[in-house]
Amino acid sequence: MKRETLTYEQFLRQWASQVLPYLSPRDLASAACACRTLSRIAASVTSRRTADAARGLERYQIPFLDSTISPDPYSHFIYTRHTIISSPPPQSWGGEASKGIATDRERLQGSSSCFGGIEVGCDCDSCKEGRCSCWSGMELGVFKECGESCRCGLMCENRRTQAGIRIRLKIVRNERKGWGLHAIEAIRKGDFVCEYAGEYLTTEEARIRLKTYDELSSKGRISPALLVVREHLPSGKVCLRINIDATKIGNVSRFINHSCDGGNLKAVLVRNSGSLLPRLCFFASMDISEDEELSFSYGESKIKENGLPCFCGSANCLGVLPSEET
């Protein structure tokens, strides 16, 4: 059988389609300057990245929309649906053959698990009653959900934050605030919106990164997304500090802006059965209209020298963003 020989043009296209989706925006722009073929492929990679910040890993595409004149049509970061401890391997973004996750129903077909409160091959008695036996609801401000040790499946009613983003969202650039997360559809009060996904850090590592981020952000070179959460006991004393950094690795929650009036999202700690570290999840604190920007309070704002300006526009805006005191 005669083996077909690739021309240089064919080889270049094949190579570029495999390599360019792994490049950073700066390297992608450099590759585009090499020749027309690479320029066309780089343009298609950029177009696909702009069309879906979630890289095909969520139920719906989450596009970047920019009405301002900017050379950067999207923000580059590694996407993760849930908070992780170790860094993931290099991630392709913008390739022709990008494959997203299977839908929840596809993943559960043929498995022994409960689906939407209805028994689907699950012999758990409580599933027949529409509720998993380990359901415990809200305790001391922390929402309890099923975990890996539970026999129920992903669509158990007590796993409402674990199936990814189920509403349509978009990332919109504002001339003053930069990127912000907006609703494409109306969201009802109490609905789960998204998890604040990123990297779990030790407090020591978080303080090192905060110092670096403060320096870079003061020069306009980075938009940090490191969130420090403190879990409190009924006495008011802090019992656990959680550091989640979504600056380089995260999901679309990294684009949610601060609002001095508390915003329209409520941050809730969610602890999964059998898991040591809780997750931070956002629920709608009020009915949210179509196209409305999503926001929450980053914490108590204090006027400090060289503090980053706040452009939330609320009636009680203090003019400066909250910052972690280390």
Q: For residue range 18-76, list pLDDT tens digits in order.
A: 999 999 999 999 999 999 999 999 999 999 999 999 999 999 999 999 978 788 899 99
Structural domain harbouring 41: 9-51
Q: Verify that 270 and 139 share a domain, yes or no.
A: no
Residue 88 inside a domain? The answer is no
Q: How confident is the model at residue 304 (pLDDT cuts 50, 70, 90)?
A: low
State the DSSP string of 147-211: -TTSSS-TBSTT-TTSS---S-EEEEEETTTEEEEEESS-B-TT-EEEE--SEEE-HHHHHHHHH
**Residue 122 pLDDT > 80:** no
Q: Verify that 44 and 115 share a domain, yes or no.
A: no
User: How many alpha carbons lie under 13 Å from residue 95 in its C-beta half-sphere?
Assistant: 18
Cα 118 to Cα 32: distance, rounded to the nearest angstrom: 52
Q: Verify that 185 and 264 share a domain, yes or no.
A: yes
For residue 305, what pLDDT is reported? 59
For residue 92, what pLDDT is reported? 94
Two tokens, residue 216: 């870079």
For residue 196, what pLDDT is reported? 97
Please report, for residues 76, 189, 287, the alpha-carbon distance to residue 183 in angstroms, rounded to integers and kept in the order given: 21, 13, 11
Q: Verify that 116 and 240 share a domain, yes or no.
A: no
Q: For residue range 235-260, list pLDDT tens digits in order.
A: 766 678 899 999 999 999 999 999 99
Q: Verify that 37 and 74 share a domain, yes or no.
A: no
Region 169-175 average pLDDT: 95
Count of the separate structural domains present in the chain: 3
Q: Verify that 269 and 221 share a domain, yes or no.
A: yes
Is 60 exposed, middle or buried, given 0-12, 13-18 or 19+ CB atoms closer than 10 A?
middle
Q: In sequence order, which residues have a C-beta less than 8 Å from that of residue 106 and are 6 or more positions away?
A: none
For residue 214, what pLDDT is reported? 81
